[in-house]
Structure 1
Amino acid sequence: MGWEEPLFCRAKAGDEEAMEDLVKKHQGLVVHVASRFFHRGYEAEDLIQIGMIGLVKAIRGFEPERGFCFSTYAVPLIMGEIRRFLRDDGAIKVSRTLREQGFRIYSFQEQYEKRWGTKPTISQIVEHTGLSVEEVTLAQGATASTVPYPEVEQTVKDDEVVWHALLAESIHTLPYEERRLIGMRYYLDMSQSKVAKVLGISQASVSRMEKKILKSLRSRLE
């Protein structure tokens, strides 16, 4: 953080070059957070651009002297901008009544499917929600792409996203060989013996390196 602190001060004072440097440095954080929403039916590029607004707000509001990690401060702001976009965009396309009805239907379907392992029939939805067949049909059709959004509010925990973002940033700062080892072990699910063969070292060396890297990552995240 030390070398970045003057950049934050300059960016807050209106220095466009400092702002650009910080945005470039932390844009990966935006991509990481935005990727959690890529399945919502919107273009990934649009979500990333919205997330960038949150990043700029975070840069302008961040106070390095408080001793907090920038990622911890920025992730909720980035996520907030994306959530607001999804909520407001859906509100423009679909009336509040339809959204509420759609979410009631969606919630019941989720509960029913978890309990019985199959989707409920229209008549079961009607009986549970008190809506008419016409209302159920209309609400399902109108909110098909927007109803799941409240689920994001309930299931995507900010602290979990912060942790993953910090982990991703920490891995990104590792030396090339260490990043490569972690990538093969935990992203490609390769055994230590296979990693050893690729790297041209012994399995014992891979084991020692892996323990050292994991210990380093844990210390950064504590």
Structure 2
Amino acid sequence: MTVPTSGGPLPTPTTDRGGLPEIRRPTAMAPQDARELSRQFFDRLRELEEGTHAYQYARNTLIEMNMSMVRYVARRYRSRGGDMDDIVQVGIIGLIKAIDRFDVSREVEFSTYAVPYILGEMKRFFRDTGWAVHVPRRLQELRIELAKAKEQLRAALDRNPTVAELATHLGLPEEEVLEGLLAANGYAADSLDTPDEPDALGARRPLAEIVGGDDPALETIEDLHTLAPLLRQLAPRERRIIELRFGQEMTQSQIGAELDISQMHVSRLLNRTLSTLRTGMLSDPAPAP
């Protein structure tokens, strides 16, 4: 016997499939019919032996009949972006957990019991995958609290709240509020190909041409790579003087005492060594053999 997808009286159970009716299109069933049949399927599911064909049929049909509940809950996250199919799939995991743990004897509507499971899986999905930059869980939760506090204070003050007002409202130090606001910037990221605001002439350039600049540390790295072989060519005493002067930041007097030579001698050796290194740094590298 086939169950109608909407309206009409519920069918009389048959003897096949563990005594449950045949449902050809459970995902197209009206929510009211799904609620009525879910009670019947749950009553029978607890009597069937797990792993049997009848048990799998009852469990799978319950999942498909209640898919509309998952889609209904998923619609509230439509504005947050992301693929709705992924959100629905995550919600189905919560639905399956609710079906496996639901106890008919509690006399609670299955929808009341299942929605928190579905919501929990969706929130966990956004918490773990929704951030463009990974931040600690504490800051993720603080971002949600700050968003709620901003909305409440904006409605009360008719303007955006200050950091001090947010801190007072939440009972937190201002430093922690600032940390939460900074971490919230990592929730979403824009592509470097995103056009910037138009300039006076109406031209729009991608962010890659505007954001950032030359990093002076890159030039330092190149200098260090050039300097390393020149240091290896120095005599041991000259290399030791360079290490003591620039590595340990010792004075010339301290270096003289360390090497048992005069400060004047240290000065002459240091100047000669630096001149040698400077000449090597400015000359063209020798061609590779």
TM-score, normalised to structure 1, is 0.50
Q: Rg bigger for which structure?
A: 2
The answer to which structure, 1 or 2, has the higher relative contact order (CA under 8 A, 6+ apart) is 1
As a proportion of its length, which structure holds more helix? 1
Q: Normalised by the size of structure 2, how large is the TM-score?
A: 0.40
